Each structure stands twice: as C-alpha cells, then as structure tokens.
Amino acid sequence: MLDPQAQALIDLMISKGIPPVQQLTPQEARKAYLERRYFSQPDPEPVQGLENLSVPGPGGSIPVRTYRPIGTDASSVLPVLIYFHGGGHVIGSIDTHDSLCRQLCNASGCQLISVDYRLAPEHPFPAAFDDCVTVTRWVHAHADMLRIDPARIAVGGDSAGGQLAAAVTLAMRESPECALAFQLLIYPVTNMRDSSPSVMIKDKGYVLTKASLDYFYGHYVPASQDRGDWRISPLLAGSHADLPPAFVLLAGEDPLVDEGRDYANQLSAAGVATQCVCFERQIHGFLPMGRLIDEANTAVRLCATVLKDKLGA
C-alpha cells in the first residue's frame, strides 16, 4: 500500500493528464519540474544568509548557492553540506531544490552549498561528475572565505544527486588532502548498467518508471558508453573501503530501492559506518514534497538530525 497522501498525488497527476517525463523534451521537462514545485513544496524558509556564487569549472562557471542557517552569527565557522540536486542528470536546478536546501540548512545547523552542475543531453557524462568534484575541491580550498570547517565537509544529494554524491565520495578517497566527513545519499542511483528487481516490480506509474529511467540514462550516458564505470554506477566500484560514514534514505515504492539498499549493504560490508532507513510506503522523489506529503517533512528532519549528529553542528 502506498502512503495515502502519495497515492492522492499520483491520482491527481493522472486526473490532470500530466504527461510522463519521457514524452517531453528535456527543455519541456525542466520547465514543468520548475513550475510544479510551487504546488508540492513547502514555502521557502527564511535563512540567515543566502549568496549566489560562481565556481570556475572545466566547462565554464558553475553556479552555486550558499545558505547559512537562521540564528547563526555571520562569523561562526560551521560544518557544510555540499548538495547535488536530483532530476535524472537532465532536469532540476538549485531553484527546484531551494526549499529543501533551506529546510536542511536550518534544521541541521550546517551551512549548505547547492550546486547547479551541467545537465544532459547538452552536457552528457562526465560533465555533471566533473562539476561536482570541482566544486567539492573548491569548497575545501576556500573554507576560510566561506566560514566553514574543512574537517567537517559532507556531500549529499537525492536521486541523480545521490549518485553524484556517492561518486564524488569515491573520487575524494584518492585525495586525502580534501577528505570528506560524511555522505548523505537519498534514494540514490547506484547502478546504471544492470536493472535491479525493483526496477521491474515497482514499474507501476509511481512517478518514476523504467521508461523514465531509460529516458534519463539515455540522455546522461549514451548507449555506446560503458555504464559500469564507477563514476556512473558507484555500486560497481572495485572497493568501498575507507569511505566516510553514510546515511542512506530510501523509498519503498521506488524502482531504485533495491540498488539503494545494495549500496548501503556494500558500504557496511566494506567496514563503512552506514545507516539505512526506508520509508516503505513512499514514492521516489518524495522528500521535497512537504506541502502534500507529511512523511516528507519527517524525512527531512531525520536527515537534518543525522547531519547535526555526524558533523557536530
């Protein structure tokens, strides 16, 4: 059984004739995703400070948005969560995830830096990965300017953003001078090469389907490329040892639930301190939908509590 509020959302989408993403061009899908946030997301919370910055990147400037939690002094040195938004590497932006980032920032007491990485199909793999690695290194190098503690840098994201966070964490393992303290993985993509059983079992029109996954994957990683590369499929990395602690949050009625659970198990088997929590009756992408789904706000508070605990905010 789905959460009744999630079911009501799906029923409404069907009654309104909202087309599935794979029937839209990337440009149309981005516009629709941005517009629908006003319907499903809570009103943006006030924060102590917000600043839009640009980070020099391999393909040009990378926009980022920094948030300071409400009630903090401007001179306080804080831990930071670098956040990579979801959207299948094709849609989504720092604006579609603005309300969620404000919630996480205030509730965790951490500074938050949201990354507007390049999107496919205009910029296929490895553009998004390269941008996220670049921003992570830039944050570490500019810790003093940003008023953050370089020993308490976490990365996180939802869906495609969770995949990017997992891949960045693996990449930073080879850079001890830029060590990460924590990874927050929200219903992440972890294996684009092989479909897990839940991709077929949960293919019921619950917002994300196999057809929409094929749409996103095809734009980000053309079929001619090897999707077994760990930067694309973190689950297939040769080793998951020596990574920072992780919190993996899953949705039970999500095609990605099996590969998310597999990744949490892989981390645990490699000796990484990992917690995994599944909201069994929820759909993929529910976390920002706090205006319509009560459990979304519960899940946000849970993520924030874990961040506060692990980073000492």
Q: Are strands 60-68 and 78-84 parallel, antiparallel or unpaired?
A: unpaired
Q: Report cis status (omega within 30 of 0) of the bond before 288.
A: no
Return the closest-CA partner of residue 234 out of 202, 198, 270, 200: 270
**Active-site annotation holder among 93, 159, 196, 212:** 159
Q: Is 89 a catalytic residue?
A: no
How many whole angstroms separate alpha carbon 38 and alpha carbon 216? 23
Burial of 235 (0-12, 13-18, 19+ CB in 10 A): buried
Q: Is 159 a catalytic residue?
A: yes
Return the closest-CA partner of residue 259 out of 183, 175, 189, 184: 189
Crossing angle (nearest 10°) for helices 127-141 and 160-172: 60
Crossing angle (nearest 10°) for helices 98-108 and 294-311: 50
The alpha carbon of 294 is separated from its chain's Cα centroid by a whole number of angstroms, namely 20
Q: Is 97 a catalytic residue?
A: no
Q: Summarize the chain as % helix, strand, coil (round to 5).
A: 40, 20, 40
Q: Would you list the DSSP string of 46-63? A: P-SEEEEEEEEEBTEEEE
Residues identified as active-site: 159, 254, 284
